Amino acid sequence: MRRFLLILFGAVIGTIAMVLAVYAFGLLAVWSPFPRRVWATHGTVVLVTSAFLAFAPFIAVLAVVLTRLFQVNAVSSAFLSMGLVVVATNLPNVHDVHGYLTSLIDGWWLIASFLFGVPLLVAIFTNLRSNNRWSGRAA
């Protein structure tokens, strides 16, 4: 029961992080650091770079928080939490199964970065923790 509650708490934290990341991405679209000429010639590069600038800090902080939250089975718990986040964030806009699948396909970049990026960073941080680098003891 405790693990389930921790996974739910991780999903709440993940939902907040995802909403803030999408909001930051929207702000980057409005107040872009890239000039218009770069937008016109290299729109895809600007879009991908803006998404990276918006999502990377939130994914890194979320991975650190989830690493600290899940002491046992951190990677699988982080994956389950992010899976709940993906399901929960795509449900409000959909009224049928086809619409839900379309929503998942349209937001694949968001799903990939949170569903697979966060557990990957949690695995890296867990490996660092297992090497006593996070314990506070001098080696």
Distance CA 94, CA 92 (A): 6
Per-residue pLDDT at 83 exceeds 50: yes
> What end-to-end distance do the CA atoms of the chain give, in Å?
36
At 136, the pLDDT band (50, 70, 90 cuts) reads low
133: pLDDT strictly greater than 60: no
Stretch among 47-51, 74-78, 103-107 having the lowest mean pLDDT: 103-107
CA-nearest of 108, 120, 12 to 59 is: 120
Q: Model-level pTM?
A: 0.80
C-alpha span between 79 and 70 (Å, rounded): 11
More confident residue, 132 or 24: 24
Stretch 16-36: mean pLDDT: 86
Contact 25, 107 (CB under 8 A): no
